[in-house]
Amino acid sequence: MKEISKKFCKGHHIICLLIFIISCTAEKDNNLGLIIDDAYINLPLKGQMISVGYLKLSNNSSETKVVNKIFCQDLNASLHTSYLNSEGMLTMNPIKDILIERNSAIIFQPGSHHVMISGLKSSLELGSILECNLIIDKTKELTVAFTLK
């Protein structure tokens, strides 16, 4: 494959550059085998700078993946989980290293796993996109684009 592309590339520098860029992008998306669906953040209440993000994360790869943590530029973001405590009160705790078995999905949703985000700006409005990065298997990053709704 390399030999072929080397020969081909002699007379087609620009096309090859494009192919190279496209294949790199594709690899970045595919090598984790994780699919994100329905990533959204509730628009913060007026005057509040804190909100909660949700998403569905499917593992289409052939191995277990671990979500270690989340980063959002200029914001404080952390993975949380909610549970009922011994008094029946809904409580939440930080959580790290969430396992996703192969061919399964975890859903961040109200009453369960969620992303706490603070430091939000008041300029955010419905439909704004907020990009964060999930750290997967300690070394890999997966970008999540949360829509404000």
Interface residue list for Cu ion (CB under 5 A): 80, 92, 116
Instruction: Output the residue with the shortest Cβ distance to Cu ion.
Output: 80
Residue 4 or 45: the one with the smaller Cβ distance to Cu ion is 45
Nearer to Cu ion, 19 or 116 (CB): 116
Residue placing its CB nearer to Cu ion in the complex, 56 or 80: 80
Beta carbon of residue 119, minimum distance to Cu ion (angstroms, whole number)? 15
Q: Which of 118, 105, 123 is nearest to 38 (CA)?
A: 105
Q: Which two tokens stand for residue 119?
A: 């430091």
Residue 25 vs 91, nearer CB to Cu ion: 91
Least distance (Å) from Cu ion to the CB of residue 116? 4
CB of 115 to Cu ion, least distance (A): 8
* Smallest distance from Cu ion to CB 72, Å: 14
Q: What is the dihedral of CA 92, 54, 65, 60, to 10 degrees?
A: 150
Which H or E element spans position 16? helix 13-30
- Enter the DSSP assignment of 62: S
Q: Is the dihedral of CA 144, 96, 115, 74 positive or negative?
A: negative
